[in-house]
Structure 1
């Protein structure tokens, strides 16, 4: 895991907040205002600690905290089968919520899967049900975001493909590998969440 704000951990509070806001402008895909006009106010940070998930066997995740810290990556559950997969996901998500003090979880709300993707639909439903249960147990609010909405906000195209999502993440300065489409999707979901939770 990488803390993008580790380099400013020892900076004074106002400088740290300023850099955090600069980074959030990047996440949101918006140009950073001239330094003299950058508002150094908590209103430009999420008001809640946010976790974004791209639900699936390779579960992309990204976290943004109200004080400016963030982290992201992908957690894989592909080696597990049956009940072990769901138990492991439940334990991992519960731990992540506690570790990051998560108050709201944003996820990609898939309404339909393509032809021949029955198994994928079942798997997604399983992960969504487990996430709902864990969030209920921890009193975490859940917000679903449409697939096309996520893609369009991140790339400008509502039907963007995996390479385009990855390219957009890299263009915004995130360390995302060529196969890390799940991480890129989670970052895209997080960018929408940050905008919403900063309101």
Structure 2
């Protein structure tokens, strides 16, 4: 995967004699570090152009993305910087999990971004309810009578009814409808 890179001296983060006396003078004035360019800097694209395109080699360890980050991979500063991101990625994993909210492409066949946004908002609220219940069970904190913490009714799936049972349910429902209409 090719990416575009820019020299840190061009970005104003360091001083470099390859970029001229002004770069070095301003870096000294601002207290920025000074680089020592290679002897053949005039032949290198990174020292003569504003940006370069970089395609990492899979065989070269120094080309690994985790080594090209601002903080050392898995250091305390790195963990502090990326801990929020790890939580978000975990939430995305749970929401896509087939055992939980099962958000996936083609799942809700409805037209329009507004309807899809509504479906995803409902899925996110269900996730939040599960997380709230898990937190309450884990810590015991929060009001025990909160409506979101009440147990869900038991759902045993579909039941196969006989014709007589189905007729009895229909009669009860029709009687309710006639009673309300009267």
- TM-score, normalised by the number of residues in structure 1: 0.21
- Structure with higher Rg: it is 2
- TM-score, normalised by the number of residues in structure 2: 0.23
